[in-house]
Amino acid sequence: MSFVPGLGIVKGMTLTLRRFFQPKVTVQYPEQVAPIPPRHRGRLQLLYDEWGALKCETCFQCAMACPIECIDMGGTDTKDRFHVHWGPPEQYAERREELALRRSGRPVPDPAFASFSPLDTSDLDRLLEAEEYDPARMLPILEQTQALYGYIPVAAIKHIANATGAWYAEVYGTASFYGQLHLEPPTRHTIGICRCPACSLFGGGAIRTALEQALGVPLGGTTLDGFVSLEPDDCHGENGGAPWVTLDGARQPGITAAGAAQLARSLAGPAPAGRA
């Protein structure tokens, strides 16, 4: 407080009077839109391509990256078979319930497992240990899991996710990306064919056409009776100068287009009426 009474008030009044004539700082919102900083993490929105189709492929990458897990998404997988879902209730609420129960010393019910027949995971554990629980080796793990059970059960995916620390959706994404991995019990016979350029060069294309004609289904499909499915396979670059064709996982070396068609017809069940 100054010695002159009232001087402080006068100083303040002078300041406000000076401000009265200064330029104003208000941003007139609807006319003047404040710039959005480039690092802004704002509203989420789905993108559409130029034909109006949704560009989202339900890859869950965004949901996995979201730190507060506010992204909740669902959809069908790429083969239009499974309803998949990712969001707080699935990957996070169930885990926190589990942990809370474990801490309070109660048995842990897992509602997600309840609708499944229990899976004997001892072999799977051994397998995972051999792979050192390394999420980077997900593909070998999954291929071996499929070899173990014939397909990749959901319970196994969950188990792998828990053991390796990978997100459930990551494991699921890997499993659903590769054509040779199955999420449902296998059909009776599977003919696999590799589509890589090397195999195609060695005559894979002709074999594929012959197989498709013989079975009447495109690649990736199953015949109507469900006996044979034609699946893409992966030769891992080991085709050794010949097209890579497998029957139920066993390689068929030296097969030709005609031989493949013959094989397919022999595997197929009795032909329905009206189909040659």
Partner 1 sequence: MRQRHDQTEIRIAAGSTVDVLRTLHDDPAFRFEVLADVAGVDTGDSMQVVYHLWSETTPDWLRVIVVDLARDDPRVPSATFLWKGAEWMEREAYDMFGIVFEGNRDLRRIYMPPDYTSFPLRKDFFIADDSARSPGQGVRHMEQVHAPAESSAPIRRSRAR
Partner 2 sequence: MSVVVRPSGRLSPTGRVMVPALGVLVLLVVVLLAGIGTGIIPAIVIWIGGVLLANIAIVRFVVAATAVLLFTIPTAFVIIFMELKVIAFMNLRIGPNRVGPWGTLASVVHGLKVLSKEDFTPTGADVSVFTLAPVVTFVASVMAFMVLPFGPGLFGADLNVGMLYFFAVGGLGVVGLLMAGWSSFNKYSLLGGLRSAAQMVSYEIPLTLSVVGVIMLAGTMSLNGIVQAQSGSFLDWFVVRQPLAFLVFFIAATAEANRTPFDLTEADSEIVAGFATEYSGMRFGFFFFAEYVNVFLLSGLAVVLFFGGWTAPVPWPWPVHILVAPGELGLGLLAIVILAPLVGSTLLALPLWMLRSSWPFWRAWILGLVLFTLLAIGAIGIYLLINLDALLGIVWFFAKSYVFVFTFVWMRATLPRIRIDQLMGLAWKWLLPASLVNLFLTALAILVVHP
Partner 3 sequence: MTTQIPSLDDPRVLVQTPATIYDAIPPYAPRTEREAEFYTLRDGEMLVNMGPQHPSTHGVLRLVLKIEGERVSDLDPVLGYLHRGIEKLGENADYHHAICYTDPLEYISSLFNELAPVMAFEQLLDLRVPRRAEYIRVLSCELLRIASHALFMGWMALDLGGLTPILYGFIERDEIVEMLAALTGQRMLFNYMRIGGVNGDLNHEFLSRLGDWMSRALREIEANTTLLNENEIFVKRTRGLGVIDRRMALGLGLTGPNVRASGIPYDVRRAHPYGVYPELEFDIPTRDEGDSYARYMLRVDEIKQSIRIIDQVLHRMPDGPVMAKVPRRITPRPGRAWAAIESPRGQYGCYAISDGTDQPYRFRIHDPSFVNLQAVVPLMPGNLLADTMAVMASLDPVMGGIDK
User: Rule CB under 8 A: which residues touch partner 1?
Assistant: 72, 74, 77, 82-85, 87-90, 93-94, 96-97, 100, 103-105, 109, 111-112, 114-116, 154, 172, 183-184
Q: Does 70 bind partner 2 (CB under 8 A)?
A: no
Residue pair 239/194 in contact (Cβ under 8 Å)? The answer is: yes
Length of the chain: 276
Q: With CB under 8 A as the contact rule, which of the stretches 11-19, 153-161, 163-171, 174-182 interacts with partner 2?
A: 11-19
Q: With CB under 8 A as the contact rule, which of the stretches 14-22, 100-108, 110-118, 219-227 interacts with partner 2?
A: 14-22
Total site size for partner 2, rule CB under 8 A: 13
**Residue located via tokens 């329905």:** 272
Least Å distance, CB 67 to partner 3, is: 5
Q: With CB under 8 A as the contact rule, which of the stretches 34-42, 45-53, 107-115, 244-252 interacts with partner 3?
A: 34-42
Q: Segment 113-132, which members bind partner 2 (CB under 8 A)?
A: none
Residue pair 192/180 in contact (Cβ under 8 Å)? The answer is: yes
Least Å distance, CB 35 to partner 2, is: 20
- The interface partner of residue 26, options being partner 2, partner 1, partner 3, none and the CB cut-off 5 to 8 Å by kind, is partner 2
